[in-house]
Amino acid sequence: MASQDWFDKDFYKTLGVSKDVSDADLKKTYRKLARKYHPDSNAGDASAEAKFKEVSEAYSVLSDKEQRAEYDQIRAMGSGARFTAGGQGAGGFEDVFSRFGGARGGRTESADFDDIFAMFNQQQGGGFGSGRFGQSTGGFRGYGGPQRGADVTARTTIDFLTATKGETITLQGEDGKPFKVKIPAGVSDGQKIRLRGRGRPSPDGGETGDIVVQVAVRPHPVFTRDGLNLRVTVPVTFTEAALGATIEVPTLGGDPVKLRVAPGTPSGRVLRVKGRGVETAKGTGDLLAEVQIAVPSHLDERAREALEQFQQLEPKENPRADLMSKARG
- What the chain holds in terms of domains, given with CATH numbers, is 4-142 (1.10.287.110), 152-217 (2.60.260.20), 224-328 (2.60.260.20)
Q: What is the pLDDT of residue 16?
A: 92
Low-confidence ranges of the chain (pLDDT < 70): 1-7, 77-145
Give just the sign of the alpha carbon dihedral 135, 137, 143, 148.
Answer: negative
8 A C-beta contact, residue 179 and residue 169: no
Q: Which residues contact 92 (CB under 8 A, 6 or more apart)?
A: 82, 83, 84, 86
3-class secondary structure, 245? strand
Burial class (CB in 10 A: 0-12, 13-18, 19+), 146: buried
pLDDT of 145 reads 66
pTM for this one? Answer: 0.53
The reported pLDDT for the residue numbered 292 is: 96
pLDDT tens profile 46-57: 888 888 888 888
Chain centroid to Cα 110, Å, comes to: 56
Most distant pair of Cα atoms in the chain: their distance: 124
3-state secondary structure 30-58: HHHHHHHHCHHHCCCCHHHHHHHHHHHHH
In this prediction, residue 257 carries a pLDDT of: 95
